[in-house]
């Protein structure tokens, strides 16, 4: 909405976002904790390759993390912000269930 529709007019533009809630889950509920642990670890270190971030944050050998990424068909040299939600889901499925703990 343009600033002119507000009183007093703000110095920024605003927008309305409409979100549709998915009825189907990308992962079964028990895997939620592992998904969020993996995504959080991937984004914890800025400007790092996803393999390095995951290895450092999960305290695991880089070779193990690289194997998960390869199994999920993700280039280990990519950065976390370039992965799609579907790729994060694939990565979560490729890593062991012990990651959630």
CA 5 to chain centre: 36
Greater confidence (92 vs 6) lies with 92
Confidence of residue 90 (pLDDT cuts 50, 70, 90): very high
Per-residue confidence (pLDDT) for residue 101, from 0 to 100: 61
Tell whether the model's pLDDT for residue 13 goes beyond 80: no
- Distance of CA 22 to CAs 26, 27, 66, 95, 97, Å? 9, 12, 31, 24, 24
Would you list the domain boundaries of the chain? Answer: 23-100
Contact 26, 88 (CB under 8 A): no
What average pLDDT does the chain have? 90
Confidence of residue 94 (pLDDT cuts 50, 70, 90): very high
Per-residue confidence (pLDDT) for residue 65, from 0 to 100: 96
Tell whether the model's pLDDT for residue 25 goes beyond 80: no
Mean pLDDT of 9-15: 80
User: pTM, whole model, 2 decimals?
Assistant: 0.76
CATH number, domain 23-100: 1.10.8.100
Per-residue confidence (pLDDT) for residue 31, from 0 to 100: 85
Q: Cα(50)–Cα(79) distance, rounded to whole angstroms?
A: 5
């Amino acid at each position: 909405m343009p600033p002119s529709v507000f009183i007093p007019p703000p110095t920024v533009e605003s927008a309305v976002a409409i979100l549709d809630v998915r009825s189907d889950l990308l992962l079964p509920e028990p895997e939620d904790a592992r998904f969020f642990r993996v995504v959080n670890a991937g984004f914890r270190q800025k400007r790092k390759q996803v393999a390095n971030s995951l290895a450092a944050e999960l305290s695991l050998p880089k070779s193990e993390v690289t194997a998960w990424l390869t199994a999920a068909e993700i280039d280990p040299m990519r950065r976390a912000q370039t992965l799609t939600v579907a790729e994060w889901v694939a990565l979560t499925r490729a890593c062991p269930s012990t990651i959630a703990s």
